[in-house]
Structure 1
């Protein structure tokens, strides 16, 4: 019997997949506003300067979504396509585990659940930057929600691994 959490996880994939049908202009408008607010201080402090004149592509493979990100004078800018220097690719669950700090970033990359392609040095610098961002900078409600989703995903992953190990033995 499914509990509420399992039901939510099972319904998340098809619901989140609908985001790929949202026009990019609207995605960019929303994401640039959110990113500008969430990362205002790190951008001001120069943390994202390594993206000046360079492009990072974040690709959420299972949702068929991708955004290109660069640093400009006025802040971070997104584009649908760009001559990317590095791509970080993974499924939405891995990005949530990374953002919520429920999984060690090095583990996600070592196990190839998140993949860096292109300029590896830039990709690793971005991974380290993301890992160094202070979650206390996020609105408290957002951080608590992100942590809760990350915890649920971590528990689900552990349960699936346990089930797989049990059926293999």
Structure 2
């Protein structure tokens, strides 16, 4: 019998591809508000300053989605298109494993499940930044959900 997280992942596989049909303006609004709220403390501490004046492309290959991120005075900014200095791409399940810390980032990159292209020095700095973020700064409910979903994804990818 599937646990709730496994059921959620099964539903997500059906629903997430529909995200590409959401108008970009709504995607941008949701992403900017969420990212700037979740990472308010690291942003204030200057952790994301490595993105000032340059663009990071995050591509979720299996969902056919991509966003460009940069750091501005007002926080993280998301764009539909930009001249990216670095790109990090992978499938949504691998990004989930990264976010939930159920898989080591170096392993995901070494196995080419997540790929850095372009300015690899900047890409590695971004990877290290993400790896250094303290999950205790996330709302408890969010970290708990990420942990459960990551565990379910890890079990699925192992079978």
TM-score by length of 1: 0.90
Q: 1:1-169 maps to which residues of 2 (within 5 A)?
A: 3=2, 6-158=6-158, 160=159
Describe the SS at the equivalent of 1:3.
coil
How many angstroms does 1:11 deviate by? Answer: 3.2
The whole-number CA distance in structure 1 between the counterparts of 2:82 and 2:89 is 16
How many angstroms does 1:9 deviate by? Answer: 3.2
Describe the SS at the equivalent of 2:122.
helix
How many angstroms does 1:155 deviate by? Answer: 1.1
Task: Flag the 1:73–1:146 CA change in 2: closer, same or farther, 3 A.
Answer: same
| Contact 2:6 2:153 survives alignment (8 Å) | no
| Contact 2:9 2:149 survives alignment (8 Å) | no
List alignment gaps of at least 5 residues for structure 2: none
- After superposition, the C-alpha distances for 1:40-78 in whole angstroms (9 at most, x for unaligned) are 111111101110000001000001111100011111100
Question: Which structure has the larger Rg?
Answer: 1
List alignment gaps of at least 5 residues for structure 1: 161-169
The whole-number CA distance in structure 2 between the counterparts of 1:145 and 1:20 is 23
Task: Flag the 1:3–1:56 CA change in 2: closer, same or farther, 3 A.
Answer: same
How many angstroms does 1:6 deviate by? Answer: 4.9
The whole-number CA distance in structure 1 between the counterparts of 2:37 and 2:11 is 29
Q: Which has the higher contact order (CA 8 A, sep 6+)?
A: 2
The whole-number CA distance in structure 2 between the counterparts of 1:8 and 1:86 is 32
TM-score by length of 2: 0.95
Instruction: Provide the alpha-carbon RMSD of the alignment.
Output: 1.2
How many angstroms does 1:7 deviate by? Answer: 4.7
The whole-number CA distance in structure 2 between the counterparts of 1:29 and 1:43 is 18
- After superposition, the C-alpha distances for 1:57-109 in whole angstroms (9 at most, x for unaligned) are 10000011111000111111000000000000000000000000000000000
